[in-house]
Amino acid sequence: MGSIIGSSSVEWSAYLGRELGNVTIIRELGRGVMGVVFVGYQKTLKRQVAVKVLAKAAGAGELASDLFRDEGEMVAVLAHPNIIPIFEMGEADDCFFQVMQLVDGIDLRTTIRRLSKHPIPSRRLMPVSEVIDLMVPILDALGYAHEEGVIHQDIKPANILVESRGGRPLVADFGIARALAGEYKSEGLVVGTPLYMSPEQVAGKVTDGRADIYSAGVILFELCAGSLPVRPAERAEEILTRKKNVPDTFFTAKPGQVSSRVDADLERIIVKAISPSAEWRYRACEDFIDDLKEYRAAHFAPADAV
């Protein structure tokens, strides 16, 4: 099956107050599959930044270190308004680190959770028109990265940040990004978040941009239907096994069966994006975007248009 790269027990609080490059670590911001993100202060430009750290003691191994280095090199050349830029990357005796833009906003997973607790039931889901407005720039960013030879491979709500002002979505944490020509062909290497991972990624196969399209399709499904129809209490290992061996049984219902607000046209778009077979998915993000824009134009008033 392979394994999911992650970090073991590390005393992350020891990094507080420490200097990495020209940045002083201030506080912890969050944890991800490839390390921990801190808020730091960049002395040269007198600004707060986000600092992602991968501790060498985390037991991720040489391959994870190579992935981390190459991530910075690849993402540093990406210039897109919906991709968080990396300013600096470096290595210390005990860690690798990357300095990137600090976003004033919250991630999409937090947004979904907050909406689900709204006292008014009808306000617990993001309007479909707003979902499309959110997904189009995300897909545009992914399509741009794909054209530059970079796939994300861990697209999920927690890796989509939405700015507090203006609501601009930004794709974060290319923590396991690899060049399409990638140097990492170790059979069985599995990296990502099981619920949103494509079947071919779970199987440890060489992936392309259609793996990101699958993950984006799952997010679209979740935002439009309100929940994902999966088996309750299924563990990560069980999800991986099911997606690898019987991927067409992973979702237990179609989008329209989960929520009546998902009509046949929208369901067709979602089902195509999350097809178990990459061959049946959208060929490129541009095609996915075209269908979403066409659906929006056909189902919502011009005043709501993007």
Mean pLDDT score of the chain: 85
In this prediction, residues 257-275 reach a mean pLDDT of 97
Name the pLDDT band for 259 (thresholds 50, 70, 90): very high
How high is the pLDDT of residue 80?
Answer: 95
Distance CA 40, CA 26 (A): 5
Name the pLDDT band for 149 (thresholds 50, 70, 90): confident
**What residues does each domain of the chain span?**
12-100, 105-304
CATH number of 105-304: 1.10.510.10
How high is the pLDDT of residue 33?
Answer: 58
Distance CA 44, CA 63 (A): 32
Q: Return the percentage of the chain with pLDDT > 90, whole number.
A: 54
How high is the pLDDT of residue 192?
Answer: 66
Active site residues: 154
How high is the pLDDT of residue 175?
Answer: 58
Look at domain 12-100 and name its CATH class: alpha beta
Distance CA 68, CA 62 (A): 10
pLDDT digits (tens, 9 = 90+) for 271-284: 999 999 999 999 99
Distance CA 289, CA 139 (A): 7
How high is the pLDDT of residue 95?
Answer: 86
Name the pLDDT band for 91 (thresholds 50, 70, 90): confident
Q: Return the percentage of the chain with pLDDT > 70, whole number.
A: 84
- DSSP strand pairing (95-100 vs 47-55): antiparallel
pLDDT of 6 > 70? The answer is no
Report which residue type is found at 143.
G
Degrees, nearest 5: CA angle 273-277-278? 65
pLDDT of 3 > 60? The answer is no
Contact 135, 216 (CB under 8 A): yes
pLDDT digits (tens, 9 = 90+) for 151-165: 898 899 989 999 999
How high is the pLDDT of residue 180?
Answer: 42
CA distances from residue 240 to 67, 196, 292 in whole angstroms, order as listed: 22, 11, 29
pLDDT of 187 > 50? The answer is no
Model confidence pTM above 0.85: yes
Q: What does the H/E/C string look like for the chain?
A: CCCECCCCCCCHHHHCCCEECCEEEEEEEEEECCEEEEEEEECCCCEEEEEEEEEHHHCCHHHHHHHHHHHHHHHCCCCCCCECCEEEEEECCCEEEEEECCCCEEEHHHHHHHHHCCCCHHHCCCCHHHHHHHHHHHHHHHHHHHHCCEECCCCCHHHEEEECCCCCEEECCCCCCEECCCCCCCCCCECCCHHHCCHHHHCCCCCCHHHHHHHHHHHHHHHHHCCCCCCCCCCHHHHHHHHHHCHHHCCCCCHHHHCCCCCHHHHHHHHHHCCCCHHHCCCCHHHHHHHHHHHHHHHCCHHHCC
Distance CA 127, CA 133 (A): 10
Nearest to 107 by CA among 132, 136, 81, 138: 138
In this prediction, residues 277-298 reach a mean pLDDT of 97
Contact 295, 132 (CB under 8 A): yes
pLDDT digits (tens, 9 = 90+) for 192-250: 688 999 999 888 888 899 999 999 999 999 999 999 999 888 888 888 888 989 999 99
How high is the pLDDT of residue 32?
Answer: 65
In this prediction, residues 245-264 reach a mean pLDDT of 94
